[in-house]
A = this chain, B = another copy of it.
Amino acid sequence: MKLKVQPLDIKVGKFKVVLNTSDAKELGIIAGDRVRLRGIKSITAIVDTTDDMVSAGMVGIYHEAQGALGLQWTEPVDVMPAKRPSSIEFIKKMMRKEKLTKDEIYNIVRDVVDESLSDIELSAFIVASEINSLTDDEVEWLTRAMIDTGERIEFDTHPIMDKHSIGGVPGNKISLLVVPIVAAAGLMIPKTSSRAITGAGGTADLMEMLSPVNFSASEIKEITEKTNGALVWGGGTNIAPADDKLIRIEYPLSADPHCQLLASIMAKKGAVGADNVVIDIPTGTGTKVPTLVEGRKLARDLISLGERLGMNVECAMTYGSSPIGRTVGPALEVNEALKVLETTKGPNSLIEKSVSLAGILLEMGGVSARGRGHDDALKYLRSGKAHAKMMEIIEAQGGDPTVKSGDILPAENKIELKAVTSGYIIELDNKRLVEIARMLGAPNDKHAGIKIHKKKGELVKVDETILTLYAEKDWKLTQAIESAQRETPIIVEGMLLERMPKFREV
C-alpha cells in the first residue's frame, strides 16, 4: 500500500509508525503488528493506529524511522504487513516456563539491542524472567548474548581485574580507593561504573567531579594501558548495551529479576575482558540482600556463572546495614575518599572495606600471597602510591591531577540535626538516608548530601549534631528537613529527632 508520509517529529526510541485505522484494516493489521516500509532504504516498524490523528492514505512516521528511511516528505512510501520478531515467540516460551535454546536467547537479546520490541513485549520478557527465572545454561547464554551484542575491550596483556558492588548501601565510594590501590600494585583494572538510578550517587556520579567519565571502549583501553586503572561511566560506552535498555523496563516495575541481575553484572565484566573479579555483596536489613543466606546464594550463582564464562570470581559479603564512611552525596563522598588517599586516615568502615576488597584482587592477580592482600593493599594506601595513582588516572581521563580533597566541598546551605537526648544510636535507616539525600538534590546537585556524625552503636549527647544536611537550593533543604522530621532516619534509644530552633522560625 502506497501511503503519503506525515512526519511525527518525536523521538520514541524505536522505529514506530501510526496508521489510520481504515488503512490498518485494509492491510489486515492492528496496533502492535509490524509493517515493512520501503523508502530509499527499508525498515520494519511497530504499528500504532488512530482514527483521526493520521488521515487515511497517510502514514505517521516517528523521528527514528524517518531518519532511517531517508525519504523526502513529498515521496510516498510503500507499506506492507511484516512478521513480528520471532523473539516474541521465545518470550512466550519463557512465560510458559519452557527452556530456551542458545539461539533463541541470542535472538531476544539482539532484538532488545536493536529496539525491535515494543514496551509491552520487553515488559513480558522482564516479568517472565522475574517469575519463572532461567536455568544456569540460559543465564550463561543471556550473559554471552549481552556481551556479544555490544562493544568489547581486548587487552594484549593480562590479567585484567574488575570489581563490582551489588549496591544498596549509601556512601559506598570504595571504588575510588580500590581502583587506585589495585592499579598502583601493577594490575590493570578498567572499571566501568553506573550513575545512581535510585541512589544518592553512583561511582560515575562521584568520579565526574574529578574528571570526565564518558569514554569509548578504545579510550578506556588506552587510559587503562597508560595508568593501569580507569574509572569511567559504563553508560557512555556501547558495552553490554542490552543492559541499559532492560533497566528502562525494570525501573517502573522496581523489578530486578535474579537472572537479569547475574547477566547484567557479569556481561559488563566479560565485555572488558576481566579475568579476576571481586564482587561486593552488601548484606543486612535495608540492603538488596537482607540475609547472609541470600547473599551466599547470590555469591554461588555469580561464582558459577563466572566459571562458565572463564572468569575467576570471588564474592565478599560486607556489612550493609550502615552507610560506608560518614558521607552521602557526590561532593561529600569524593571529599571523604580523597582525604583517605591523601592522609590515609578516615572512617574505618571505608578504609577497611576498600583495603579488604583491593586485597582480594591483589591476591587473585598474583601480586600478593594468599592472606597478604589486605596488608599489601594497606601499604599501597599508606605509602601514598594509591594517591599518586589516583591522580594519574584523573589526569589520563582529562581531569586536574593537582586536585585536593579541600577543593571538593559540599554546598554552603546546610542545617544540622541534633540529638534531643543522650543515648546510643540504635537505628540508622539506609533507605531513609538515601531518600533524604535525594531530596537534598543528590546525585544531580553534586554538592548536596549528608554528613553523618554519629553512626549506629555510637553514643550521642543531647544537642550533639548527628547529621548535617547540605543542599544547593533552599527549597530542597526545606523539603528534606521536613521529610526527615516526618520520618526520622535515626533513632536514639527511643527518641525522635527534633528540628533545629533556626528552622522553627520558617
Complex interface residues of chain A between 12 and 30 (CB less than 8 A to chain B):
18, 25-26, 28, 30
> Quick one: given A95-B130, A131-B132, are A31 and B444 in contact (CB under 8 Å)?
no
Pick the contact of A95: B121, B255, B441 (CB < 8 A).
B255
- In Å, the complex CA distance between A26 and B445 comes to 7
**Ranked 10 nearest A-B pairs via Cβ:** A32-B252, A123-B123, A25-B444, A127-B127, A119-B119, A120-B123, A11-B53, A131-B131, A124-B127, A119-B120
Q: Is A73 an interface residue (CB 8 A)?
A: no
A120 contacts B121, CB within 8 Å?
Answer: no
A95 contacts B10, CB within 8 Å?
Answer: no
Number of copies: 2
Give the interface SS of chain A, mostly helix, strand, loop or mixed.
helix
Complex interface residues of chain A between 456 and 477 (CB less than 8 A to chain B):
none
Residues of A in contact with B (beta carbons under 8 Å apart): 8, 10-11, 18, 25-26, 28, 30-33, 50, 52-53, 60, 63, 84, 88, 91-92, 95, 97, 118-124, 126-128, 130-132, 197, 248-249, 251-255, 438-439, 441, 444-445
Which chain B positions have C-beta within 8 A of A248? 31-32
B123 contacts A124, CB within 8 Å?
Answer: yes
A32 contacts B123, CB within 8 Å?
Answer: no
> Quick one: given A53-B10, A95-B130, A127-B95, are A253 and B28 in contact (CB under 8 Å)?
no
Pick the contact of A88: B128, B253, B438 (CB < 8 A).
B253
Which chain B positions have C-beta within 8 A of A132? 131
Shortest beta-carbon distance, A144 to chain B, in Å? 25
> Quick one: given A32-B252, A50-B11, A251-B32, are A123 and B119 in contact (CB under 8 Å)?
yes
Add 4 more A-B contacts to A28-B444, A118-B119, A127-B131 (CB < 8 A). A8-B10, A121-B123, A123-B127, A127-B128
